[in-house]
Amino acid sequence: MKKRSYLLLFIVLAILLLQTTAFALTDEIITDTGDTAFVMICAALVFFMTPGLALFYGGMVRKKNILNTMMNSYVIIGLISIQWVVIGYSLSFGTGNGGLIGSFDWIGLNGIGADPNLDYAATIPHSAFVIYQMMFAIITPALITGAFAERLRFSVLLIFSLIWSTLVYDPLAHMVWGIGGLLRNLGALDFAGGNVVHISSGVAGLVIAIVIGKRKDFKSVPIVPHNIPFIVIGASILWFGWFGFNSGSALGANGLAVNAFLVTNTSAASAMISWIVIEWIVQEKPTLLGAATGAVVGLVAITPAAGYVNAMSSIIIGLLVSPICFFFISFVKQKFGYDDSLDAFGCHGVGGIWGALATGLFASKDINPAGANGLFYGNPSQLGIQALSVVFTIAMSAILTFVIIKGISLFMKLRVEESDEDEGLDIALHGENAYADFLPAFANASYGSSIPEIQLLKNENDETIPVEIINKKRNKGIKMTKVVIITNQNKFTELKDEMNKIGITGMTAINVLGCGVQKGYFEYYRGVKVDMNLLPKIQIEIVVSKVPVRLVIETAKKVLHTGHIGDGKIFVYDVENAVKIRTGEEGYDALQDEADMDENILTDAI
């Protein structure tokens, strides 16, 4: 009986031991599918931010440069995706060398697979962590492009982005996030990239903008956004993607990710409202561009703090970042005269600096026990650590960016030619036109192909089709006058109807952009006065002979006058001759309707 009892006990213990061993082995190799799915979705959101940035930046430049500006962001997706796989990830997260840069252990992602890396993310595959971090590496150099928009050679952009990512982004990512990293060991807090992404890119953009100089037309003509809807769509995509940017940095579907989501949205909302209020006070009009800008700087500011602060702190961070960035864009930039084209430094550099310092003020271990308390939670030293990390990041990015861009300038010219700036970089560098309004459309033409040769129509016998000349009474000596009216587009229908009543049966209408100076009247672009305005107008051309010119002018004035700025102008020119191509008639006869048989009726048609 005793033998059977001992045998049964032995069997039970053996089973328990085997199960424990199995569980231990399972814990080492099985990942959390929920965390993995969450991080992969967040990676896709962060990826989507770069095309969103392309739209955001593209809407801010002049229409002749939108494709080049968008291309600058878009091409970086391809370039840095390859760089990250080949060497970038290993330099960023490989075993450290003195805390300054990673190793070459993971070159080409050698040895990285589905098993988790317990040092970085214990519940997701190592390869998922690689993918997620890749998206940060992509968008960072894309942010820089806003500072030198409309004047940098495309080849220089490619070379610079590759070198900068390898020598600046990768080492800085290792110092802040890598095991054994210098700033990580110092205790600096950067949850999702305040130092690594925003300060580094903003400072780099400022350095390049200063080195290559101002745009040819800077301050001589108004350089304002050409497409506000694009800007808002881009900003909305950025806002949407930023939830993956910050929440995903928790590297799991957990409470920390939820907090990051909440404070991200709250800070963006607070900053947007704050920017609108500032514009309302300073320039008496809130703008949609300002609302989009405020939201973006709010997202920038919360990035380093998203995993360490509560919702009320995020409201303060968002409310304060807008006046800080507004001051740098509207006053500091004007004072020093540098041409940070799309305010990459003013938004990302300055916003990132404030966010990093704010983390040192509002961080709380109640939110993230793995973090640290800030000044307002009894740890003033954390603010000093944050300030030191900011100074280090600024110095590193500024010095290395200057060395890289000056080094490239030894071998190639940095800027495009002045004639290219005049023509626009879309045509000059890429041979494309985003708004081909005045080009004929061909059903069989494909993108990148040249416009096909236009063939003249002929009849079946390949003979010229004869034209019947209508012989009308010649009225030699009758003066012909061209009247050009430039006014608001919404007045066209009313003007056309009134002109028809006085005998004007033909006119040419063209959509144009009106540029004029009004004494004592200003518009604002991100808080900066712009005394010339590019506004959509319509240009109407009428050639008259029978109808008195004065009648045309007085009719136009009656229809168009409102007493407000922008009613338009009327120009009057002498016309030497007019030819009706179909009939061959010239002069006075070319302007008359064929149906006009009553000489007492005043009509002019073109």
Dihedral sign for Cα atoms in the order 53, 56, 62, 64: positive
Lowest mean pLDDT among 362-376, 425-439, 485-499: 425-439
Q: Judge if 168 and 279 occupy the same domain.
A: yes
Lowest mean pLDDT among 336-350, 360-374, 546-560, 586-600: 586-600
* Side-chain half-sphere CA neighbours of 207 within 13 A: 22
Mean pLDDT of 552-572: 88
Lowest mean pLDDT among 50-54, 302-306, 554-558: 554-558
Mean pLDDT of 96-109: 91
pLDDT reading at 256 higher than 70 = yes
How far is residue 56's CA from residue 49's CA, in Å, rounded to a whole number?
Answer: 10
What pLDDT score does 399 carry?
A: 98
Q: Judge if 401 and 441 occupy the same domain.
A: no
Q: What is the DSSP letter of 248?
A: G
1 domain-assigned: no
Share of residues in the chain with pLDDT > 90 (%): 67
Give me Rg for the CA atoms of the chain: 33
Contact 261, 247 (CB under 8 A): yes
CATH number, residue 182: 1.10.3430.10
How far is residue 533's CA from residue 513's CA, in Å, rounded to a whole number?
Answer: 9
pLDDT reading at 59 higher than 60 = yes
How far is residue 89's CA from residue 109's CA, in Å, rounded to a whole number?
Answer: 8
Mean pLDDT of 448-466: 47
11 domain-assigned: no
How far is residue 193's CA from residue 542's CA, in Å, rounded to a whole number?
Answer: 60
Contact 95, 103 (CB under 8 A): yes
5 domain-assigned: no
What pLDDT score does 20 carry?
A: 41
Tokens of 333: 């930039």
Does 283 or 365 have the greater pLDDT score?
365
- Tell which residue, 469, 543, 549, has the closest CA to residue 508: 543
311-327 helix and 288-302 helix, angle to the nearest 10 degrees: 120
Question: Domain end: 395, 423, 451, which one?
Answer: 423
Cβ burial of 77 (10 Å; 0-12, 13-18, 19+) is: middle
| Sequence-separated (6 or more) residues with CB below 8 Å from residue 247 | 42, 257, 258, 260, 261, 264, 306
| Sequence-separated (6 or more) residues with CB below 8 Å from residue 403 | none
Q: Judge if 315 and 458 occupy the same domain.
A: no
What pLDDT score does 25 carry?
A: 40
381-409 helix and 170-177 helix, angle to the nearest 10 degrees: 170
Residue 264 region by backbone torsions, left for phi larger than 0, else alpha for psi between -120 and 50, else beta: alpha
How far is residue 80's CA from residue 162's CA, in Å, rounded to a whole number?
Answer: 7
What pLDDT score does 13 carry?
A: 53
Element (DSSP H or E) covering residue 514:
strand 508-517
Question: Domain end: 398, 423, 448, which one?
Answer: 423
Cα separation values, 560 from 488, 492, 506, 542, 572, Å: 8, 9, 19, 16, 17
Tokens of 589: 């006869």
What pLDDT score does 493 carry?
A: 86
**pTM of this prediction?**
0.77
Highest mean pLDDT among 4-18, 150-164, 424-438: 150-164
Lowest mean pLDDT among 145-154, 293-302, 520-529, 531-540: 520-529
Mean pLDDT of 410-434: 94
Confidence label for 186 from pLDDT (cuts 50, 70 and 90): very high
7 domain-assigned: no
154-164 helix and 66-83 helix, angle to the nearest 10 degrees: 30
460 domain-assigned: yes
pLDDT reading at 23 higher than 50 = no
Confidence label for 594 from pLDDT (cuts 50, 70 and 90): low
Find where tokens 């939830």 sit: 243
Query: How many residues are present in the chain?
Result: 606
Q: What is the DSSP letter of 579?
A: B
Task: Give 306-347 pLDDT, tens digit per residue.
Answer: 999 999 999 999 999 999 999 999 999 999 999 999 999 999
Question: Domain end: 384, 402, 423, which one?
Answer: 423
- Tell which residue, 284, 223, 342, has the closest CA to residue 521: 284
Q: Judge if 509 and 371 occupy the same domain.
A: no
What pLDDT score does 430 carry?
A: 95
Mean of per-residue pLDDT scores for the chain: 87
Cα separation values, 570 from 501, 538, 575, Å: 19, 12, 16
Mean pLDDT of 393-419: 97
Q: Judge if 168 and 248 occupy the same domain.
A: yes
Contact 584, 486 (CB under 8 A): no
Find where tokens 């098993």 sit: 115
Q: By residue range, what is the domain housing residue 490?
A: 436-606
Residue 557 CB: number of other CB atoms within 10 A? 13
Q: Judge if 582 and 605 occupy the same domain.
A: yes
Q: Judge if 84 and 112 occupy the same domain.
A: yes
pLDDT reading at 372 higher than 70 = yes
Does 273 or 3 have the greater pLDDT score?
273
148 domain-assigned: yes
| Sequence-separated (6 or more) residues with CB below 8 Å from residue 458 | 464, 465
- Tell which residue, 40, 214, 194, 197, has the closest CA to residue 131: 40
CATH number, residue 584: 3.30.70.120
What pLDDT score does 512 carry?
A: 81
What pLDDT score does 439 carry?
A: 42
Using alpha carbons only, give the angle 270, 238, 168 rounded to the nearest 5 degrees: 105
pLDDT reading at 521 higher than 60 = no
pLDDT reading at 273 higher than 70 = yes
Contact 322, 350 (CB under 8 A): no
347 domain-assigned: yes
Cβ burial of 409 (10 Å; 0-12, 13-18, 19+) is: middle
Q: What is the DSSP letter of 595?
A: T
Q: Judge if 368 and 517 occupy the same domain.
A: no
Share of residues in the chain with pLDDT > 70 (%): 82
Highest mean pLDDT among 411-425, 439-453, 471-485, 583-597: 411-425
Q: Judge if 492 and 560 occupy the same domain.
A: yes
Phi, psi of 8 (to 5 degrees): -65, -40
What pLDDT score does 239 carry?
A: 98
Can you list the positions of beta strands (E) in 518-568?
A: 523-525, 528-530, 532-544
Element (DSSP H or E) covering residue 37:
helix 33-60
Residue 102 CB: number of other CB atoms within 10 A? 26
Mean pLDDT of 374-397: 98
Q: Judge if 478 and 382 occupy the same domain.
A: no
What pLDDT score does 530 carry?
A: 59
Confidence label for 30 from pLDDT (cuts 50, 70 and 90): confident
b vs e for 20-38, b when ≥16 Cβ sit within 10 Å of the residue's Cβ?
eeeeeeeeeeebbeebbeb
71 domain-assigned: yes
- Tell which residue, 370, 81, 79, has the closest CA to residue 251: 370
What pLDDT score does 545 carry?
A: 83
Q: Judge if 150 and 214 occupy the same domain.
A: yes
What pLDDT score does 441 carry?
A: 41
Q: What is the DSSP letter of 345?
A: I
Task: Give 187-199 pLDDT, tens digit per residue.
Answer: 999 999 999 999 9
Element (DSSP H or E) covering residue 46:
helix 33-60
Mean pLDDT of 347-374: 98
Using alpha carbons only, give the angle 261, 165, 93 rounded to the nearest 5 degrees: 65
- The domain total for the chain is 2
Q: Judge if 559 and 470 occupy the same domain.
A: yes
The percent helix, strand, coil of the chain (3-state, each to 5) is 60, 10, 35
